Amino acid sequence: AQSVSQHNHHVILSEAASLELGCNYSYGGTVNLFWYVQYPGQHLQLLLKYFSGDPLVKGIKGFEAEFIKSKFSFNLRKPSVQWSDTAEYFCAVNALRRSQGNLIFGKGTKLSVKP
């Protein structure tokens, strides 16, 4: 069965620090990859997605992610975090047997940014 691992449960950073959140998935075939963010009290929002092409994907709010197929990884990065980035971040995968709505989510990583 497919699974998604997010290794860090809770990350605490100071403003301006660099961020990297790990995501690994278990599926040997072609995948679609996503990062979603849930700000406190708000709904899940799509940060970025990878379908094909350039493995370095840029998303909203200065986030980017790199797909490394050999490592089954899709890590999320941001060079300099802000207090407003405090949120929970979810990595998600869909195996491309069909492009229908069955996302497998990781357990999430809570990011706390200290002002």
Partner 1 sequence: KAGVTQTPRYLIKTRGQQVTLSCSPISGHRSVSWYQQTPGQGLQFLFEYFSETQRNKGNFPGRFSGRQFSNSRSEMNVSTLELGDSALYLCASSPRGDSLNYGYTFGSGTRLTVV
Which stretches of the chain bind partner 1, using CB under 8 A? 32, 34, 36, 42-46, 49, 51, 90, 92, 94, 99-108
Instruction: Return the number of the residue (81 or 91) whose C-beta is nearest partner 1.
Output: 91
Write down the least CB distance from residue 25 to partner 1, Å: 14
Instruction: Return the number of the residue (69 or 97) whose C-beta is nearest partner 1.
Output: 97
Residue 100 and residue 32 in contact, taking contact as beta carbons nearer than 8 Å: no
Instruction: Return the number of the residue (17 or 22) whose C-beta is nearest partner 1.
Output: 22
Instruction: Return the number of the residue (101 or 115) whose C-beta is nearest partner 1.
Output: 101
List CB contacts of 50: < 8 A, sequence separation 6 or more.
32, 33, 34, 57, 65, 67, 74
As a whole number of angstroms, the distance between CA 65 and CA 77 comes to 6
As a whole number of angstroms, the distance between CA 100 and CA 112 comes to 33
Write down the least CB distance from residue 86 to partner 1, Å: 18
Write down the least CB distance from residue 88 to partner 1, Å: 10
As a whole number of angstroms, the distance between CA 21 and CA 109 comes to 8
Write down the least CB distance from residue 93 to partner 1, Å: 10
